[in-house]
Structure 1
Amino acid sequence: MTVDRYAHPVELTVEGVRYTTGGHTLLHGVDLTARPGETVGVVGPNGSGKTTLLRCVYGTLRPTGGRVLLDGTDAAALGVKDRARRTAVVPQDATGMLGLTVREVVAMGRSPHKRFWEQDGPDDARRVADALEAVGAAAFADRRFDDLSGGERQRALVARALTQDPGLLALDEPTNHLDIRYRLEILALVRALPTTALLVLHDLNLAAAFCDRLYVLSAGRTAAAGPPAEVLTEQLLAEVYNVRTHITTHPRTGIPNIVYLPLDTPRADH
């Protein structure tokens, strides 16, 4: 895909973001920074606040405290289209696609850049074709979106985000439903783009391989933040995930490699 088409990468700053609903606080003053062009991962166990934080970043939830800044501008002050020109989203689940083809779904990514009466032109068609090819979805571009497998849908949603020309790409479990080949391809593609990327991931080995920095959430608070090799320690994973692990540096890649031990494995010092 031609990468020089994209908007300049956005600097994302999350300052003391809190989110409370129904008397329950899901985020307790979370701070996060993603510098222009970085790939930053948010990890943590279920219920730790990962998706809530991501939704506060891209605007479907409004923080009850703190703020989200895009290039120093308070995102809450931006209009819907202006925010969409800066941030593209790959959600876990897609709605409102009934009866649309994959090509039509991907073309929706161009809407923030157009007036409501404007039709797609040749440049829009090229961007859609490039995005479909980039994610390996060109072969099923004319199929109905609702007839696709989970993995095929995920690739189409990533392609839709790419056509939006985002400065910030926010992805909630982008490898969900994908087989290992497409997990690696999608994350490699995201990392190669000249955009800032914020990813929620469950797979810690993939997070270590593709993210510049990680934020580990636990019960709505930041338990650790930094480069994967510093953050992913056996002690931290025991405290946050309540699992035993053996972590080494992979001899070929130089990145942390996490092996999960059976729950009844005795401690090494016993």
Structure 2
Amino acid sequence: MTEGPAELAAEAVRYAIDGQPLLHGIDLTARPGETVGVVGPNGSGKTTLLRCVYGALRPTGGRVLLDGADAASLGVKDRARRVAVVPQDAAGTFGLTVREVVAMGRSPHKRFWEQDGPDDVRRVARALDTVGAAALADRRFDGLSGGERQRALVARALVQDPGLLALDEPTNHLDIRYQLEILGLVRALPATALLVLHDLNLAAMYCDRLYVLAGGRVAACGTPAEVLTEPLLAEVYGVRTRIATHPTTGAPHIVYLPDGGDGDGVRTGF
């Protein structure tokens, strides 16, 4: 079992490839139980930062702390007990059923070659049911649609019982029903969550705080209401907007204006 929601701190994290910097000293925090979103245009460094946080990439400068411990000092299994990842793409799953892929999330909590016990089986079934994928359990993972795969990967992360959940575009390929259900589920979990999101309105609805990246730097951070402003969106994304208030949640809601438009015929997304 997890020891509870993790505390995350990225301190002056830098990352470069062949001398070309992709991240320029990123500072980011997520308090225990928070849902923190990372947003920004394509190429801003969102996925690179997330990979540095969960250990797929080693920062070329700075450090990542999990509950005050330098993540680089943690063993692979220890890190896997603390951090569950929902990537954009799943490698190493060829020929496996959905149930087998989800059961992989229990591996950090078992000894080498230890078989699944009754508790593991129950957890896998419950996670599949939670994400609406129970009917997919015996299908081959590599034969699923993009949305079905995404739900299975979220289920795998759930059974890992993490203190920190790192998600890279978790709503990718999902229709609106499952986008809302998955993000609502993440929000309700007893874990800290760090999400890379493309949809700013979903980020505003489900995240406690947002970090906006641009060119590998933090352009803004704060609550959605503090961050999602018309001047910032114009500067970072190069788009004209109006910021409304969502009629149900009270969260800021972005109305995108067409180029040269005055607000007529805009897309609201309500």
- Could you tell me the TM-score, scaled by structure 1's length? 0.96
Partner of 2:134: 138
* Alpha-carbon distance between aligned partners in 2 of 1:250 and 1:158, rounded to the nearest angstrom: 27
The SS at the match of 2:170 is coil
- 2:117 matched to 1:121? yes
The partner residue of 2:176 within 177, 180, 191 is: 180
* One of 144, 147, 158 as aligned partner of 2:143: 147
Deviations 1:111-165 (A, max 9, x none): 1111112110000001101110110000111100011000000000000001100
AA aligned opposite 1:70:
L
| TM-score after normalising by structure 2 | 0.96
Is residue 2–residue 161 contact of structure 2 (8 Å, CA) maintained in 1? Answer: yes
The 5 Å alignment of 1:70-109 reads: 70-109=66-105
Q: 1:249 Cα deviation (Å)?
A: 1.3
Q: 2 CA distance for matches of 1:211 and 1:266?
A: 30
Separation (CA, whole Å) in 2 of partners of 1:42 and 1:77: 25
Offset at 1:23? 1.9
Matched, 1:166 2:153: no
User: What residue ranges of structure 2 are gaps of 5+ in the alignment?
Assistant: 264-270
Say how many residue pairs are matched.
264
Please tell me whether the aligned partners of residues 6 and 194 of structure 1 are also in contact (alpha carbons under 8 angstroms).
no
Conserved 8 A contact 2:2-2:82: no
**1:217 equivalent among 209, 213, 216:** 213
Which deviations, in whole Å up to 9, do the C-alpha atoms of 1:58-108 show, x marking residues without a partner? 001000000000000000000000000000000000111111000000000
Aligned equivalents of 2:90, 2:249: Cα separation in 1: 34
SS in 2 for 1:202: coil
1:51 counterpart residue number: 47
Q: List alignment gaps of at least 5 residues for structure 1.
A: none
Q: Distance in 1 between matches of 2:64 and 2:220?
A: 20
| Alpha-carbon offset, residue 263 of structure 1 | 1.4
Structure 2 contact 2–81 (Cα < 8 Å) conserved: no
Verify the 8 A CA contact 1:13 1:69 in the aligned structure 2.
Answer: yes
Corresponding residue SS for 1:20 = strand
- Is residue 54–residue 166 contact of structure 2 (8 Å, CA) maintained in 1? yes
Q: Distance in 2 between matches of 1:238 and 1:115?
A: 52
Cα distance in 2, alignment partners of residues 108 and 14 from structure 1: 28
Amino acid at match of 1:97: T
After TM superposition, the runs of 4+ consecutive aligned structure 1 residues lying more than 2 A away are: none
SS of 1:37's equivalent in the other structure is coil
User: Does structure 2 conserve the Cα–Cα contact (< 8 Å) formed by 1:7 and 1:165?
Assistant: no
Equivalent-residue separation in structure 1 for 2:105 and 2:259 (angstroms) = 45
1:28 pairs with 2:24 = yes
Alpha-carbon offset, residue 6 of structure 1: 4.6
* Identity of matched residues, %: 81
